[in-house]
A and B are shown apart, each in its own frame.
Chain A
Amino acid sequence: MLNLTPKEITERSALRINPAKTCQPVGAMYAALGVHRCMPHSHGSQGCCSYHRTYLTRHFKDPAIASSSSFTEGASVFGGGSNLKTAVKNIFDIYKPDIIAVHTTCLSETIGDDVGAFIQDMDIEDGKYVVHCHTPSYVGSHITGYGNMIAGFIKYLSKSTGKSNGRLNVIPGFVNPGDMRELKRILELMNINFIMLPDTSGVLDAPMLGSYVMYPPGGTTIENIEAMGDSPLTLALGELTCETPANELKRKCGVDYKCLPLPMGVEATDQFLMELSSFSGREIPYALEEERGQLMDILLDAYPYFHGRKVAIYGDPDTVLGITSLVLEMGMIPKYVITGTPGEAFTEKAEEMFARYEVTDCKAKASADLFELHQWIKNERVDLLIGGSHGKQIAKAEDIPIVRAGFPILDRYVHSYMPLVGYRGAIRLVELILNALMDRQDRDCADEDLEMVM
Chain B
Amino acid sequence: MKAQGVLLEERRNFIHHKGSCGGNTIQCDTESVSGAVSQRACVYCGARVVLNPITDAFHIVHGPIGCASYTWDIRGSLSSGAEWYRNSFSTDLTEQDVIFGGEKRLWEALEEVARAHAPKVIFVYATCIVGVIGDDVRAVCKKAEEKFGIRVIPVMAPGFAGHKAIGYRMACNAIMELISKAPAGRKRRKGVNILGDFNLAGEMWIIKNYLEEMGIEVVSKITGDASCDELMHAPEASLNIVQCAGSMTYLAKRMEEDMGIPYIKVSFFGLEDTAQSLLNIAQALGDGEAESRAHLLIARETHELKDLIQKSKEALSGKRAAIYVGGGFKAISLIKQFREIGMETVVVGTQTGKKEDYDIIHLLVNEGTVVLDDANPAELEHFIKEKQAHILVGGVKERPLAYKLGVAFLDHNHERRHPLAGFVGIKNFIKEINLSVNSPVWQYVR
Contact = CB atoms under 8 A, between A and B. Distances in A.
Contact of A107 (B84, B97, B111, B129): B129
A48 B377 CA distance: 17
Contacts of A70: 31-36, 38
23 contacts: A14-B109, A16-B88, A18-B87, A22-B65, A41-B35, A45-B42, A45-B128, A45-B159, A46-B38, A46-B163, A48-B159, A62-B400, A63-B400, A70-B32, A72-B31, A73-B161, A75-B160, A84-B34, A95-B37, A110-B128, A110-B133, A214-B378, A340-B65
Interface in A1-26: 1-2, 4, 6, 10-19, 21-26
A138 interface: yes
Contacts of A49: 38
Contacts of B86: 2, 393
A66 interface: yes
A138 B97 contact: yes
Given A13-B108, A21-B65, 11 more contacts: A14-B111, A47-B44, A48-B159, A51-B45, A53-B397, A62-B400, A63-B401, A65-B37, A70-B31, A136-B95, A208-B406
A12 B109 CA distance: 8
Interface residues of B, number: 85
Contacts of A54: 70, 396-397
A107 B396 contact: no
Contacts of A106: 63-64, 66, 98, 128-129
Contacts of B95: 136, 138-139
Interface stretch (B112-120, B230-238, B244-252): B112-120
B422 to A, nearest CB: 25
A361 interface: no
Contacts of B378: 94-95, 214
A111 interface: yes
A69 B72 CA distance: 25
B94 to A, nearest CB: 5
B132 interface: yes
A90 B160 contact: no
Contacts of B68: 16, 19
Nearest to A23: B66
B105 interface: yes
Contacts of A11: 112
A83 interface: yes
A113 B39 CA distance: 24
A76 B404 contact: no
Contacts of B377: 63, 65, 212, 214
A220 interface: no
Nearest to B108: A14
B228 interface: no
B343 interface: no
List the 3 shortest-distance A-B pairs measured between CB atoms, nearest first.
Answer: A47-B42, A23-B66, A90-B35
A61 interface: yes
Contact of B41 (A51, A86, A137): A51
A23 B129 CA distance: 14
A107 B35 contact: no
Nearest to A11: B112
Taking residues whose C-beta sits less than 8 angstroms from the other chain, chain A's interface range is: 35 or more
Contacts of B313: none
Interface of B: 6-8, 10, 31-45, 60, 63-74, 79, 82-84, 86-95, 97-98, 104-109, 111-113, 115-117, 128-129, 132-133, 158-163, 377-378, 381, 385, 396-397, 399-401, 403-406, 445-446
A51 B112 contact: no
A210 B128 contact: no
A13 B32 CA distance: 38
Given A68-B36, A90-B8, A208-B404, A51 B67 contact: yes
B404 A212 contact: yes
Contact of B405 (A2, A91, A212): A212
Contacts of B91: 14-16
Nearest to A90: B35
A50 interface: yes
B396 A58 contact: yes
B396 A83 contact: no
A12 to B, nearest CB: 5
Contacts of B65: 16, 19, 21-23, 137, 141, 340
B44 to A, nearest CB: 6
Contacts of B381: 212
Given A19-B88, A94-B6, A50 B97 contact: no
Max chain B C-beta neighbours (<10 A), residue from A14, A69, A70: A14
Contact of A138 (B45, B64, B162, B385): B64
B89 A17 contact: yes
Contacts of A209: 404, 446
A19 B73 CA distance: 12
B38 A16 contact: no
Nearest to B39: A50
A207 B72 CA distance: 30
Contacts of A48: 42, 66-67, 128, 159
A21 to B, nearest CB: 6
Contact of B445 (A52, A95, A208, A212): A208
A137 B66 contact: yes
